[in-house]
Amino acid sequence: MDLKIGERLDPRRRPLLTLIRWIEGQVLLILLAAAAALWAFLEIADEVSEGETEDLDHRLLLSLRNPADPNDPLGPGNLEEALRDVTALGGFTVLTLVTVAGALFFLFHRKRLHAAVLVGTVLTAQFASSFTKALYDRPRPDLVSHGSYVYSGSFPSGHSMLSAVTYLTLAMLIASLETRRATKILVYVLAMLLLIAVGLSRIYLGVHWPSDVLGGWTLGAAWSLVAWIMLLKLGGRTAPPTD
């Protein structure tokens, strides 16, 4: 919205101009963040493909195990059981329930675009996770016994990627409708805690290498950031904080 020299801006258009500039600035920043997350994933994937992460992966995985018995995770038995519950928060069933509940919440509040972005982002991420696992076809850790059932490739961690996609996208959509700064921060902090807990549980249970989890986090973050861009480009509005 360029103005010619001497042309006066209608005061009624100033708020609109401010909003447009604010949204455009967000898109650029989010695009750069998405590109950085995708670049990080590709760098990790390249290191994994070349075997550069193998030594560190082994050491980190074994650091969570009893030195006398690698099949015995550190800590009491109830800790292992608790982390199985945590890892389920990144499983297909729980994430599907979270996605459906989130979509219904947005639909009940007449936020059809938000519901569509959430469902579309999670569904496409599911396909992307399956594709990348088949592409890299990395074997699961064989140093320790698995504390959870597994049936697909190891890189990237599907639980880590899909929990990042689901929880970060949901947090972004909620924050876009919320004007209170404290609430915006809260939903992002909760999303981060959830995805970190899920990722660490996968390593503790011996079903993923640490680099698998890191790769899942970065790809999931990139996917969620693209969803944010789509929301803005399709007409969504992110409410600026008021306090």
- 93 part of a folded domain: yes
State the Cα–Cα distance between residues 83 and 78, nearest whole angstrom. 9
pLDDT of 38: 94
- Which residues are known to be catalytic? 159, 208
pLDDT of 9: 44
- 207 part of a folded domain: yes
State the Cα–Cα distance between residues 175 and 188, nearest whole angstrom. 8
**pTM for the predicted model, two decimal places:** 0.85
Tally the domains of the chain: 1
**Number of Cβ within a 10 Å radius of residue 219:** 28
User: Would you call 5 exposed, middle or buried from its count of C-beta atoms within 10 A (0-12, 13-18, 19+)?
Assistant: exposed
- 9 part of a folded domain: no
- 67 part of a folded domain: no
- 114 part of a folded domain: yes
Q: Which two tokens stand for residue 157?
A: 């961690």
- Beta-bridge partners for 69: 66
User: Where in the sequence is the domain holding 29, given as residue range(s)?
Assistant: 15-48+78-233
Question: Which portions of the chain are predicted below pLDDT 50?
Answer: 1-13
- 101 part of a folded domain: yes
pLDDT digits (tens, 9 = 90+) for 44-82: 999 999 989 999 999 999 888 888 887 888 888 789 889
Residue 211 has phi, psi (to 5 degrees) of: -70, -25
- Beta-bridge partners for 66: 69
- 62 part of a folded domain: no
Q: CA of 21: how far to CAs of 24, 64, 128, 184, 239, in Å?
A: 5, 49, 33, 21, 14
The CATH number of whichever domain residue 214 belongs to comes to 1.20.144
Single-letter code of the amino acid located at 91 = G
- 6 part of a folded domain: no
User: Pick from 213, 174, 167: which is nearest to 190 by CA?
Assistant: 167
State the Cα–Cα distance between residues 75 and 171, nearest whole angstrom. 32
pLDDT digits (tens, 9 = 90+) for 170-202: 999 998 888 788 888 899 999 999 999 999 999
